Structure 1
Amino acid sequence: MWLTRVFRDWGARRLVTRRTRKPCGLGNEQPTSTRQQLSSCYQPSSSTSYSKRASPPLCNFRSPIILSCRSISTEMPQLSDEKAKFTAPDGLSTKYRVEEVHRYMVDCMTAVGTPQAHAAALADVLVAADRRGHYSHGLNRLEMYVNDVKQKVCDGSAVPTITKESVSTALVHGNNGLGPVVGNFCMDLAIKKAKETGIGWVCTRGSNHYGIAGWYSMRATKEGLLGMSVTNTSPLVAPTRAKKAALGTNPISVSAPGKDGDDFVLDMATCVVAVGKIEVERRKNKPIPEGWAIDKEGQITTDANEGMHGALMPLGGPELHSGYKGYGLGMLVEVFCGIMSGGQYGPNVRKWMNTDREADLGQAFMALDPSFFAPGFEDRMSDLMNHCRNMEPADASKPVIVAGDPERQHINKVEQDGGITYHINQINDSWKLAMALGVKPME
């Protein structure tokens, strides 16, 4: 347990579950106030463990390689002038201890007025993304959160409130708070309801970017539950047959508990590729694969510049390759998020990185207790995953894997290396951000 930050103690509650997992904080009794509910959501943050979890031996699956530290979509014009005043020194390290990365993130957020507890909740999610190999959603995203709070388009101090609820459902208003603060609150509420009734479903509006969707589904799995989390995003994806974007990348994450912590963790966008990957190829003056993006006229393009000014394609790509299925999945996320919650949806969501108005994102969180159904869920889950892993691969150098395996291997690599390794450009940029905010850079 590397993180020992202690927040206000609202009373520890023991949760009796089928698995020996760390409680998420919401006990079986109803908290007396919304603020108490939110505070209890921080218990995992105050005792977050990044120790090595039990997992099956993995084959030599290659970890993701960072091709670029930043994309055009993550450049903060409001901070760029301040950062431009500084030049990063030569010889900065590219590997940093997990604790140090977390400390730096918290310092950056508190420097713009975010409460310590909220900053720590955000840092937990961002660090988890980098540890899992999802570098686009970790340190790379920090400046976006800093800028949103600094420009007052996101309220770093906001506390979510429940506006309507039943024994198994709830509608929450995020009050324009930090996405991870809202997300933790909602998933912990869903977990509490699932433990009591078998299922908990919580929708929220008034939220912001909440990091990797898998953070929230795994929060339920740590309690022995199935978890699901979905969020809408700024419109970047064109519906099948359309010329312009109308849907977000709209990620879906579903996690299911296996034996000994060997969990199934699906975390995927509903488009073919992230916009940052197109920017990488544009910077290298290289073409992009056919099926990644369309140009302004709605035609499939291999020109990275045209793709940046056009739209991403839904999962599957063109209609001929069943792209309409990815389009349907993206629409499904909107049903659960913006439409069901009453928040912004589809083309009504503000453009990516705009700070002219609140994001008002919609998100949904589900927790399901498998013990309300047939016994032996974890055994069957692990049996299916191991069967697939042990199948003869078509290419001996590429063993069969299941969702969650690449991330587990990357976590193991981070632990073996003694820290997270970043691209030097990412480190130089984070150093400049530290100088602009007047905080201690990572060391």
Structure 2
Amino acid sequence: MIRCSKCQYINPTKCSPIKQICFVHSKCNRKKPKSKIISVPEVNKFIVECLRKLNVKDDKACILAKSLVKADYQGILSHGLNRLEHYIIDIKNKNCNPNADPKIISESASAAAVCGNNGLGAVIGVFCINIAIEKACKTGIAMVVAIGSNHFGVNSFYTEHAVSQGCIGMAFTNTSPLMVPTGAKKACFGTNPMSIAAPAGRCDRVVIDFATTSVSLGKIEMYRRRNQKIPIGWALDKHGKPTTDPAVAVKARRLSPLGGTASHKGTGLAIMVEILSGLLANSTYGPNVRVWGQKPFKPANLGHGFIVINPRRFISGFEKRLGDLLEHVRKLEPADPKRPMLVPGDMERARMKKVDEQGGIEYTNSHLKMIQRLVQDLGVKPPKFKS
């Protein structure tokens, strides 16, 4: 028997599990759920264990886990653990063959085309960027495209890998149609993200990674999780009108191109990415790409493109010149003294430092609910929370 501490109302079915407050008094007494911190190794272990339950081989599970955790580690929570359920749905519905191995279908000294065989996007992406790095180290520049792939996470996961080998990396991918081209009412292109990263010496680097829409759908999903309104200009409703309701935006799946009043530039960039990924690879492209997570389920057949440049094959001193440029930008007088100047990649490194200092990644209550769903559904042990 449970009594409400406020009015002594006796009815367990109508009592909140929080401090035994009845439904009448629960609203005013319920505290906002707190987020929890999970260490990077614990998150990685949890993701791998979930994938093992679906019979995903360890080598492939570890690559996918590494890509998701890296996103969260950098503060890109829309593309980390937040995406795990989507991958699991694809695997359960046999839209994706998680144990497939990508294969080279054609190549030359500085180019290659890869068939992903409908495998995990992260596995295919790592396979492709490694080929591009190997070829670029020999020839100076190389490009690899992939067909038959799936969602591969954040582009910078691959471009930063190129930087770790002393190279400049570029990555492009097409995605499910979400962008409404300038002047239209319906979506035609995906968010079609792109990234470039380059080494700047003394452990410095620049990492640019952005969608060709105003924001990614994942970021809007995070606003919905937090029950916050989105800024005007991010998305449209089903009638093609601007909306600030994240739930409406997610349901309508109509994002605005990058550029605001100059959104034709975002539309142009989306087409550029399509050329360097879907079209060059002969994968599904534009409005023909399936909508991720919606029925009828079918393979995505996404296309990716990777370009790697070996600066050592050009004029010497590239890293020093880039380092000088980045430092110049950082030292510029900021318009707002409270907001020091940053270059692309600085914010992510600051977030990683914070994660290291607090001993893990801070996940929202929505993330924690998702973890609990996966624990119950797959029969895995939940990750340990930092006390």
Cα shift readout 1:124-166 (whole Å, capped 9, x = no counterpart)? 1011001100011111111111221121110011000111100
Matches within 5 A, 1:85-164: 94-164=36-106
What is the SS of the residue equivalent to 2:144?
strand
State how 1:121-270 maps to structure 2 within 5 Å: 121-270=63-212
What is the DSSP-based 3-state SS (H/G/I as helix, E as strand, rest coil) of the residue aligned with 2:62?
Answer: helix
CA separation of 1:119/1:282 partners in 2, compared to 1, >3 Å: closer, same or farther?
closer
Distance 1:284 1:198, change over 3 A: closer
Counterpart contact for 1:237–1:245, Cα < 8 Å: yes
| TM-fit CA distance, 1:363 | 0.3
Could you tell which deviates more after superposition, 324-333 or 425-434? Answer: 425-434
Q: What are the Cα deviations for residues 72-103 of structure 1, in whole angstroms up to 9, with x where unaligned?
A: xxxxxxxxxxxxxxxxxxx9971111111111
User: Which residue of 1 is the match for residue 322 of structure 2?
Assistant: 381
Within the alignment, does 1:312 sit opposite 2:255 as a pair? yes
Shift of residue 374 of structure 1?
A: 1.1
Distance across 1 between alignment mates of 2:156 and 2:95: 25
Cα 1:100/1:285, change in 2 over 3 Å: closer
1:27 alignment partner in structure 2: none
Q: 1:426 to 1:304 in 2, by over 3 A?
A: closer
1:433 matched to which residue of 2? 374
Q: Once the two structures are aligned, what percentage of the paired residues are identical?
A: 46
Q: 5+ residue gaps in structure 1?
A: 1-90
TM-superposed deviation, 1:297:
3.5
- CA contact 1:238–1:313 (8 Å) conserved in 2: yes
Contact kept in structure 1, 2:292 and 2:300, CA below 8 Å: no
Q: Given the superposition, is the C-alpha separation of residues 402 and 161 from structure 1 closer, same or farther in structure 2, using an over 3 Å criterion? A: same
Specify whether residues 283 and 260 from structure 1 end up closer, same or farther in structure 2 by C-alpha distance, changes over 3 A only: closer
Aligned partner of residue 257 in structure 1, secondary structure: strand
Aligned pair 1:349/2:349, yes or no? no
Which blocks of at least 5 consecutive residues in structure 2 are unaligned?
1-32
**Displacement of 1:414:** 0.8
Q: 1:273 to 1:150 in 2, by over 3 A?
A: same
* TM-score for the superposition, normalised by structure 1: 0.76
Residues 264, 278 of structure 1: alpha-carbon distance in 2 compared, 3 angstrom cutoff: closer
**Contact 1:204/1:362, CA 8 A, preserved across alignment:** yes
The alpha carbon displacement at 1:290 in A equals: 2.4
Match of 2:269 among 315, 322, 329: 329
CA distance in 1, matches of 2:378, 2:228: 35
What amino acid is the match of 1:220? A
TM-score by length of 2: 0.87
Query: What is the Cα deviation at residue 295 of structure 1?
Result: 3.0
C-alpha displacement of 1:268? 0.6
Structure 1, residues 176-203: CA drift from partner, whole Å, max 9, x if none?
Answer: 0001100000000000000110111000
Matches within 5 A, 1:46-65: none
Residues of 2 paired with 1:203 and 1:192: CA distance?
15
Equivalent residue for 2:23? Answer: none
Contact 1:200 1:367 in 2 (8 A): yes
Q: Provide runs of 4+ in structure 1 moved above 6 Å.
A: 283-286
Q: CA deviation at 1:246?
A: 0.5
- The match for 2:300 is 359
Rate the CA distance shift 1:439–1:293 in 2: closer, same or farther, 3 A.
same
Contact 2:78 2:219 in 1 (8 A): no
1:369 to 310, 322, 326: 310
Amino acid at match of 2:264: Y
Give RMSD over aligned pairs. 1.9
The answer to whether the Cα contact below 8 Å between 2:78 and 2:221 also exists between their aligned partners in 1 is no
Kept in 2, the 8 Å contact 1:202–1:364? The answer is yes
CA offsets per residue over residues 374-431 of structure 1, 9 Å max, x none?
Answer: 1101101110001000111000001110000000001111111111111122113202
Query: 1:112 and 1:409 mapped to 2: Cα distance?
Result: 35
SS in structure 1 of the partner of residue 279 of structure 2: helix
1:423 aligns with 364
Give the counterpart of 2:351 among 397, 410, 413: 410
